[in-house]
Amino acid sequence: MKKTLFLLLLPLFFFSCNHKADKEQEISIIPQPVNLKKISGSFNTDSLNVIFMGVDQAALFNVAMHCKTMFEPVLGHKIEIVKGTGKSGQMVLDIDPDLGSEAYLLTVNNNLISIIGGDAAGVFWGIQTLKQLLPPDFEKGIRMDAFDIPCIAIEDEPRFVYRGMHLDVCRHFFAVEDVKSYIDLLVLHKFNIFHWHLTDDQGWRIEIKKYPLLTEIGAYRDETVIGRNSGEYDSKPYGGYYTQEEIKDIVAYAEDRFITIIPEIEMPGHSLAALAAYPELGCTGGPYSVATKWGVFDDVFCPGNEETFEFLENVIDEICLLFPNSPYIHIGGDESPKTRWLQCEKCKNRIENEGLADTHELQSYFIKRMADYIKSKGKSIIGWDEILEGGLANNATVMSWRGEEGGIAAAKMGHDVIMCPNEVCYFDHYQSKDTENEPLAFGGFTDCEKIYSWSPIPSDLNENQASRILGGQANLWTEYILDLDHIEYMVLPRMAALSEVLWSQPDKLNYDIFVKKLQNLTKYYDARGYNYAKN
């Protein structure tokens, strides 16, 4: 009798459990929080007309304004920002430094929404999580009736301090509003670093007052190769650059959203655009022209010439003023051929006078000298892993892109490392094996599953060495990317996979669950009108 009753009730039991699981799955947050607990009930937004701030009003005011401007158009009524601890039907934002940087506690109950951060950034990330609890149509910013927010308790903090996205604006140029839209993508996925690649062979994209020819000449190329260095060209002049006022505007936009911009000024290689403007800085004296095809070029800055260092130091002076809150200047340091240096008398003299062994040590001399100058300005350098060749500056951070080997070596030497191995973190790769039906890409194949299965900390590092891994970054090179629509396609939804790898704790990572959550996140992509890969 009991066995029969159990068998009769078993389907009902499983139905109940599955129904509960389905209800739990409605709470879908990317990246996955440290702890998430669903509570019965909901908060209705009809009564939300006040945002209370805790004692640190100065730090929280801009964050509160984000909330205000986010909710007001949708709810159709004004929301007041006041100092206080809150009351029924309202929202409270506060800071508790004991939580730690970027950490937050988000609680929604029937009467109150509370977001407490370890700092203002933590409160801001809590708001981004809250947005994923709202109806997707909320993202459209149009008037809606009052709606319910599910009750929940979330405790969260990021795993890594460096969670970066890179954008190359040299191969193709993107307008100010496009760059801001890219920053918005970072915010949605809780990335906190925007690595902005501003100079290269195909264009110099930032105004430097002391050297106006950098943008008058270096920002424009005569034409652009069609496809992958096909030998055919479009015969159309191409270019553009950001004025210093535009740079300041974008920097302020990012900082208001707790995104740090790290500018990259390439040296000693990838410098044809600069040499076209100031040919005396190269080994041969030119003439040079801004590159019209893709690749690596022999003509680079001449380290035997004192004018080269005077020029670069003056450029760095202006860069530091434009990016005052960035702790780093990225100096590239990659793909710099030694061909011209081997033939240059000035370079030979530099090698002899400095007691250097060869041109590899000459590159190290170049990097160390610029690192020292940048350090004198209160900042440190980041360089691609080629800066390991010939010896590394003491305060250099290595960005490991040619696999993980460079990062492993740097960590074992006691240097900070940012991991971005090209086989996982280069978002200019195809994200489908059906390349005939994909937009033109650099090559390779990198999908969400490959990204999600990657660990930024290599297994052969001990605990002390592993602490040198600051985090990771995805890189987007734009040889074949011409507009924002294509940018979105290349980074979405791969950004979501990387965001969870860099934010969430390893024991919270589950690819099958991530795929289910991604189905919910794409509803928000749709609401924002993003062009994302659906394969």
Q: DSSP 3-state assignment of 101?
A: coil
Structure tokens at 374: 């940048």
CB 75 within 8 A of CB 58: no
Fill in the DSSP letter of residue 77: S
Strands (E) across 173-279 are located at 193-197, 199-200, 203-204, 220-221, 238-239, 260-267
**Is 360 one of the annotated active-site residues of the chain?**
no
d(CA 444, CA 415): 30
Residue 44's beta-bridge partner residues?
148
| Token pair of 294 as six digits | 């893709």
Q: How would you classify the pairing of strands 238-239 and 220-221? A: antiparallel
* 3-state percent breakdown (helix, strand, coil) of the chain, nearest 5: 40, 20, 40
d(CA 29, CA 23): 14
Cα 516-471-185 angle, rounded to 5 deg: 50
Q: Which residues of 156-192 are buried (b: 16+ CB within 10 A; e: fewer)?
A: bbbbbebbbbbbbbbbbbbeeebbebbbebbbbbbbb
Told to judge if 80 belongs to the known catalytic residues of this protein, a careful annotator would answer no
Which tokens hold the place of 327?
A: 């702790």
How large is the C-alpha radius of gyration of the chain? 26
Q: Which helix (DSSP H) or strand (DSSP E) does residue 133 occupy?
A: none
Q: Is 270 a catalytic residue?
A: yes
Q: Which of 102, 200, 207, 385 is catalytic?
A: 200
Beta strand pairing status for 112-117 and 203-204? unpaired
Q: What residues pair up with 263 in beta bridges, in sequence order?
A: 196
Q: Which residue in 184, 335, 423, 483 is the catalytic one?
A: 335
Catalytic residue ranges = 200, 270, 335
